[in-house]
Structure 1
Amino acid sequence: APDIPGFGNSRFGLSRARQSRVLGSMHVLVLGSTGFVGQQVLSILLERQYTVWCLVRTEPPSASVHVIRGSVESQSDIAAAIGDSCCDVVINLAGVYAWWLPDPQRFEAINVQGVANILGAIAQCSIDTRPRLVHVSTVLAYGRPQGRGLTDATAFDEDAAPGPTTSRYAASKQAGDDLVRTALASGAASGCICFLACCVGADPKLMARECDVMRIRDLVDGSLPAVISSGATFTYVYVKDAAEAIVRASAMHDPAAADGACYLIGEGRLRTSEYYAMIEELCGTPRPRREVPAWLAMLGARILTRYADQVTRQMPTAPLDLVRTASSGTLLFDAGRTTAALGMKYTPIRTAFAEAIDYITDAMTGSEAMAEQAAEREALVDKEM
Structure 2
Amino acid sequence: MKILVTGSSGYLGARLCHALLSRGHFVRALVRRTSDVSVLPPETDDDAFELAYGDVTDYRSLADACSGCDIVFHAAALVEPWLPDPSRFVSVNVGGLKNVLEAVKETRTIQKIIYTSSFFALGSTDGSVANENQVHSERFFCTEYERSKVAADKIALNAAIEGVPIILMYPGVIYGPSKLTSGNMVAKLIIERFSGRLPGYIGYGNDKCSFSHVDDVVEGHIAAMEKGRFGERYLLTGENASFKHVFDMAALITGTKKPSFSIPLWVIEAYGWLSVLISRVTGKLPVISPPSVDVLRHQWSYSCDKAKVELGYSPRSLREGLEEMLAWLKDLGLIQY
Category of TM-score, reference length = shorter chain: 0.7 to 0.9
Give the structure-1-normalised TM-score: 0.77
Question: How far apart, CA to CA, are the structure 1 residues paired with 2:162 and 2:167?
Answer: 13
* Structure 1 segment 217-366 matched on structure 2, within 5 A: 217-226=191-200, 227-251=202-226, 253-254=227-228, 257=229, 259-298=230-269, 300=270, 303-304=273-274, 307-308=277-278, 311-316=281-286, 318-328=288-298, 330-364=299-333
Q: Which consecutive unaligned segments of at least 5 residues does structure 2 have? A: none
Tell me which of 84, 91, 106 is aligned to 1:109. 91
CA distance in 1, matches of 2:193, 2:199: 9
Cα distance in 2 between the residues matched to 1:203 and 1:51: 21
Which has more radius of gyration?
1
Deviation of 1:301 after TM superposition, in Å, equals: 5.0
Q: What does the per-residue CA deviation read over 1:306-361, in whole Å, with 9 as the maximum and x for residues that have no partner?
A: 63465554434630111110122x22222211211001222222121112111211
How far apart, CA to CA, are the structure 2 residues paired with 1:179 and 1:77?
21
What root-mean-square deviation, in Å, do the aligned CA atoms of Structure 1 and Structure 2 show? 2.4
Q: How does 1:162-241 map to 2 (within 5 A)?
A: 162-164=136-138, 165-187=141-163, 189-205=164-180, 212-214=184-186, 215-226=189-200, 227-241=202-216
Match of residue 62, structure 1, among 41, 48, 68: 41
Q: Could you tell me whether the CA contact under 8 Å between 2:235 and 2:304 is conserved in 1? A: yes
Superposition deviation, residue 131 in structure 1:
3.2
Using the aligned pairs only, state the percent identity: 23
Cα pair 1:28 1:91 within 8 Å, conserved: yes
User: Aligned partners of 2:304 and 2:72: how far apart in 1?
Assistant: 24
Q: Secondary structure at the match of 2:240?
A: strand
Post-superposition CA distance 1:249-290 (Å, at most 9, x none): 112x25xx2x21100012212233311101122234434433
Q: Is the 8 A contact 1:230 1:294 kept in 2?
A: no
SS at match of 2:180: helix
How many residue pairs get aligned? The number is 322
Look up the match of 2:57: 73
State the secondary structure of the residue aligned to 1:204. Answer: coil
Letter paired with 1:213 = M
- CA separation in 1, counterparts of 2:22 and 2:193? 35
Q: Which residue of 1 aligns with 2:131?
A: 157
Q: Distance in 1 between matches of 2:265 and 2:2?
A: 48
Q: How far off its partner does 1:90 sit?
A: 0.5
CA distance in 1, matches of 2:25, 2:177: 24
SS at match of 1:160: coil
**1:201 and 1:306 mapped to 2: Cα distance?**
27
3-state DSSP of counterpart to 2:117: strand
Q: Confirm or deny: 8 A CA contact 1:167 1:322 kept in the other structure.
A: yes
The answer to whether structure 1 residue 142 and structure 2 residue 122 are counterparts is yes
CA contact (8 A) 1:56 1:67 kept: yes
- Contact 1:98–1:213 (8 Å) recurs in 2: no
CA offset at residue 122 of structure 1?
1.4
One-letter code of the match for 1:120?
Answer: E
- Cα distance change on mapping 1:212 and 1:50 into 2, 3 Å: closer
Distance 2:219 2:280 in 1: 42
Name stretches of at least 5 consecutive residues in structure 1 with no aligned partner. Answer: 1-25, 369-385
SS in 1 for 2:212: strand
Q: CA deviation at 1:109?
A: 2.1
* CA deviation string 1:40-73 (max 9, x = no partner): 2112211110121111124652224022111111
CA distance in 2, matches of 1:205, 1:66: 23
Partners of 1:27 and 1:52 lie apart in 2 by 6
Match of 1:131 in 2: 111
Other structure's SS at 1:156 match: coil
Measure, in 1, the Cα distance between the counterparts of 2:150 and 2:303. Answer: 19
Once the two structures are overlaid, the 10-residue window that deviates more, 304-313 or 107-116, is 304-313
CA distance in 2, matches of 1:90, 1:318: 33
Amino acid at match of 1:157: N
- Cα distance in 2 for residues equivalent to 1:190 and 1:88: 12
Question: What's the offset of the Cα at 1:103?
Answer: 3.3
Decide whether the 8 Å contact of 1:138 with 1:195 is kept in 2.
yes
Given residue 238 of structure 1, which amino acid in structure 2 is its aligned partner? H
